Structure 1
Amino acid sequence: MTFVRRRLAVLPTLSLFLAALLTGGVLAAPAAADQPTQMPATLVDAAGVLSAEQETKIGVALDKLMADRNLQLSVIYVRNFDGMAPQDWARQTQQLSELSYRDVLLAVAVDDRTFSFGSAEAIEDYPAEDLRKIAEETIAPDVADARWADAALDTAAELDGDRSRMWLYLAVTGLIALALIGAGLLFLRNRRSTSDTDAGPDDDAVSVSELTTRPLATLNPWAAELLTDTDNAVSISDEELALAVAEYGDAATAGFQAALATAESAVATSFRLRRTFDHQPELSNGERRALLVQIISMCSDANEALDEQVPAFDALRDLLTDASARLDTLDARARTVTERLGPAEATEIYLAKTFSGPVADSVIGNAGLARELIRFARDSIAQGREAVADEAELRQPTVAAIRSAECGLDTAARLLDALTDVSQNVVLIAEKTTPLAHATAHVGAAESLIDTRRGAVGTAARTGVSEAERLLDEAQAAHEAARVEALADQATALADEALTLACQDITLWKQQHEHEGAPVLTGVLVDAVIADDVNDGDFGGGGFGSGGRSPGSFGGSDTSGRIGTGGRG
C-alpha cells in the first residue's frame, strides 16, 4: 500500500459477504486452513475458537498496539500446522501474507496447543530475546491452558507495555545508527533538485545518525517528497513488471517480483508512519523527527532494492528485440482500447446527469483523458516506426516510443475500467446498500483517481487512501457486524477526504501548468510518464518526443526515469 491497487472494485461479491454475515454466517476459513496461508486480515480464527465478543476485544487491542507503537501484530488460529514445524509454518504464512518490517505474527495450533511467535524482519526496539521472553512467559502458559483469546490479548498488552514509545526515541538517541554499524553505514541519496538549503541536506548522501540531527523543517518536506517519489517508482515498476511477467513468466522474473514486494512493503509502512506524524500532534519533536528518519530510511531502502535489479531487468526486457512486432501489438491494443471509448463516454454522460457525490464525480473526465492518452500512444507508435526505419536512430528513440505507448494505453485502460466499476457501484449505493458496500465504492474511487493522476497528487491524499485501504481490509474480514460497520464508516470517511485532497492537488497542478497547454494529458500528469530532470516542459500533441518528458521504467526513483537521460537505449 505502497499505494496498492485493489483487486475488488465492484460491490456485489462484498454485498453477498455482508449479507451472509448479518444472517449468522462467518468469514470462511482460507482453503486448506491448516496449511500456510495468506491472511486476509490481522485476526483470523480459522479454528473457530473465539466468540464475537473476544474477536472485538482482540481487534481493539491490535488497533491500540498499532496506534501506540506502530507495530502490527497479526494473529491466526488454526486446528494444526499440517505436520510442519511451527516456525516453518509461520515463516511461510509471513511470506504469503507479505509481512515485513514492524510486523509480528502469532500463529496458534489449537489441537496440538503449539504456537509460533516472531517478527518477519528484525525490529530495533523489539530484540529477538525480548520476543522470546514474551513467548515463554506469556504466550506459552495461555496456549497450554487453552486460553485462546488471552494468548492474543496478553501478547498485545506485553508488546504495548511501558515501552510504548521507546522506539520513537531510539532514532533520536542514535541507537538506530549503532544497530547498523555491524552491517556498515547506511547511506541515503538526497534527490531534491531545489537549491533551497532548508529543503533537504546539501550533500549527496547522509548517514542515519546524521539524519537524526537535522531540523524538522528540513526532514519534513524531504520525507514527504521521497515518499511520493518512491510511491511513484513502485507503481511504475509494478506496471512494467506485469508486462515482463506476461512475456517471460514467473521463473524469469522472480527476483524482480521479490524486490518489488520488498519496496511495496516499505512504502506501505512509510505511509502508516506518515499518518502517525500528521495526525498525532501530541508527539514531541524528538518523536516526530524519528518518524521522518524512519520514512526516509525505509524509502531509500525501497529505492535501492529496485535499483539493484535495473541492469538485469533491462537485459531481460530488451524492448529492441522484435521492436517492429512490439509496435504492431501496441497498435492492435490501441484499436481495442479505442473501441471502448464510445460506451465509456455514454456512461460518463449518464453518471453526470443521474448521480452526484464523490464516487460519481471521481470519474467525470476519464473518457476524455483516455482519448488523449490513446492519441498520445498512437503518436508514440508512429515515432517508434520512424526510429526503426532509421537504423542510426534505432535504439533510444525506439525504446522510448514503446514504453510511452505502453504507459499511455495502460493508463487509458485503467481510466475506462474505473468508469465501468463506478457505474455499477453508484447504483448499489443509491439502493442504500450496506456500509461495507459504500466503503468499497468510495475507497475504490479514491484509489482510481489517485492512481491515474498520480503525478499531480501529493502525500496527504495518498496517505489517506492508504489508511482507508487498511480499514476496508479489516472491515471485510471482521466477523462482528458492529465492528464491520464501524470500520467501513471510517474507511468511507477517509476515502472521501483523500478524494477531496487529491482533487485540490489536481486543480492546483492545472493552474500551475495552464500556460504550458498540455492537450495530451488534459492538464493532468499521470504517473505513467515522469518529468525529465533536464527539461521541465510538458507534452505537446506529438508523442513522447514532443515535450521534455519521458516514460517511466522498472526501478527506484533515481533510475525509473532513465529513458529520459539516455538509458535503456
Structure 2
Amino acid sequence: MGWLVLPAAGPARADDPVELSRDGQITDRVGALGDRAGQVEDALDRLYDEQRVQLFVVYVSDFSGRSGQTWSDETADRNGLGQDDVLLSVATHDRQYAYSVDVDSRLTDADLRDVAGTAIEPALRENDWAGAAIGAADGYASVLAGRPVTAPAITPGPADPGTGDSGSTGARDFILPVAVVAGVGAVGVYAYARRKRRTTTRTTPAATGWGRGAGAGGAPEPPTPLPELDAQAKQVLVDTDDAVRTSEEELGFATAQFGEEAAKPFTAAVARAKDELTQSFRLRQQLDDAFPEDDATRRRML
C-alpha cells in the first residue's frame, strides 16, 4: 500500500503552483535559506557546469492542499521546465517535499531514489533547508558522473521558517515523496498534460511520515488503524473525483484547440482514470454495505 498525503487544513491555495524567480534558480517564499543562499547557488552552478543540468529549488509554506508531486508538476509546467531541468519543491510548514524530472532525463528512477535517500532527506530531517538543495545538486552531479552519492554536512535550521518558530520538529513528521517525472506529450504546447509520473514506487510503508520506517528497537511500526485508513481512503476518493472532472474539462479545451487526433493519448488516459475511479467507488460501496468484511479484507480493499 502506498502512503497517502491528505489536503492541508486551513485556507486553500495559500501557495499555489508559483512562478519561479527570474533572478536565478532559487525561489524562497519563506526565507528558508537565510544567509546560505550563496552556498546553494554555488552548488547549482557546479551541477550545471559539470552536467548541463539545471536544478530549480522552491521553498513554500505548503502545497495548497495538493499532493507534493501534483504541485511540483504544475509548477514545472507553469514555468516551462524541460528535459535537462529538475525541480525540487519543499513545503516547510507542512513538512512535505517532491521532485519533478523530465521523462527523458538522464537521471534514472534509481538515481533519484539514491540522491533522495542519501543527500536530500538527511538534511530535511534536521531542518537543513539549504543542505537539502546542496545535497540534491551535488548528488545529481555525482550519479550522472558515475560517482557515489555522499551525505551532506548538516547545519540544522529553524523548524518552520517564515513563522519565527525555531523549535525542533522531528524528522518523523516529514513526508517522503513519490518520484515524479515529467513527460512532453503529443500536444507539446499544452502544458497541463505535459508532465506525468514515471514510477509509482513507494519507499516507505503506508501512511507513515518520512523517517518512520521502524519503531523502537528497529521493529516495524504498527499498521495504520483501520478508522484512519478508512478516512484517508474517503478523502482521496473525493480528491480524485475532483481531479478527473477537472481533467475532463481541460481535455475539452485541448481537443477544441488542437483536434481530436492530437488529444487522443490524453482522451485515453482520462477514460482509463474514469474507469479505475468507478471501480474504486464500487469498492467503497461494498465496504459500506450491510455485510461487513473481516479486518484483513477491509484493509486490503482500502
Q: With structure 2 as the length reference, what TM-score do the two structures score?
A: 0.43
Larger helix percent: 1
Q: With structure 1 as the length reference, what TM-score do the two structures score?
A: 0.23
